[in-house]
Structure 1
Amino acid sequence: MTLTEIRERAIAPALALLPARMSGPLADLMLLAITRQEDPDQRRRQWPTGPARGLWQFERGGGVAGVLIHTASRQHALAVCAARGVQPDAGAVHTAMEHDDILAAAFARLLLWTDPGPLPPAGEVSRAWELYLRTWRPGAYSNGAPEQRSALRRKWSINYAMAMEAIK
């Protein structure tokens, strides 16, 4: 799927399940940039054998469990699970995310919602990068050598630019 298709088929229906204040171009921008960063080939499974699932690459004990228990997201996550017909437990949600892009998009937005700050303004690539690092906590970055970290940051700039183009 193109980023426009992801926006139309996954993000828009996911955001319709959440309060209106969670929607808008800034949410779309972050979600598109993150899916490009996390799953650019749209495999929906961490390749080749990793634990992450879905277009936003959630791990069961990390992002999925976090969204289900965080005070800012819990009630919304329960409502999304009910709307998508998924048991509201980390195992069931994690399994379903691999095949349910709307569920994955909703949980991705809810994970961003758990961050206390507002979404960064469009074009603020560095602030968006920092938000991504705080909420997704990518192991390849935190465990990576300086060269690897630089490569991931360059990749973010490219993915963010692609997302900016898609929301125009």
Structure 2
Amino acid sequence: MKLGEIRRTILEPALAMLPPGLGGARAEVMLLAIGLQESGFKHRRPAIGPERGYWRFDPDDDNVGAVLRHPATAALAVAVCDEQQVPPIEERVFTALEHDDLLSAVFVRLRLHIEGERLPPVGDVGDAWSLYCRAWRPAELIRRKWDRSYARAMDALSAPP
């Protein structure tokens, strides 16, 4: 799937489910970069491993549970779960993330929101990398790959629809 299509069919509708302050170019770049870093938007489930969705939620990382429990995200997460007809129970949400791209994108954005700060300005690849590492705690820290993923995400924002 091309990044423009991902923006139109996944990111824009997912971010529209959230308050306006959680959307915008900063959010789109972060979600695109993380998706490129984690899966390249090629497969919603790796050949080996329990991760789910393009953004590779891991059942052991407690990202889903954190979003469902955190005071800043719980009500939003439950509302989106209701809209997507997924019970707001950690195991049920985790299972749904493999096929429900809108729910998955919302949970990515809410997981980043838990970090309690504004998203880095578009183009600030260093702060974006730091935020990604704090939120995702990637097992394999490949900064060069992140720089390429982030650059591609920025390019996608400036590409015509």
Report the TM-score when normalising by structure 1.
Answer: 0.90
Q: Contact 1:10–1:105 (CA<8 Å) still a contact in 2?
A: yes
Question: One-letter code of the match for 1:165?
Answer: D
Superposition map of 1:1-168 within 5 A: 1-45=1-45, 47-61=46-60, 62-141=62-141, 152-168=142-158
Task: Quote the RMSD (CA, aligned, Å).
Answer: 1.0
Q: Contact 1:60–1:90 (CA<8 Å) still a contact in 2?
A: no
More helix by share: 1
Q: Per-residue deviation at 1:48?
A: 2.2
Aligned length: 157
> What is the aligned-residue identity percentage?
47
Unaligned runs of 5+ in 2: none
Q: Per-residue deviation at 1:116?
A: 1.4
Unaligned runs of 5+ in 1: 142-151
Report the TM-score when normalising by structure 2.
Answer: 0.94
User: Deviations along 1:81-133, whole A, 9 cap, x unmatched?
Assistant: 00100010111111111111111000001011111121111111111000000
Q: Contact 2:35–2:41 (CA<8 Å) still a contact in 1?
A: no
> Aligned with 2:75: secondary structure?
helix
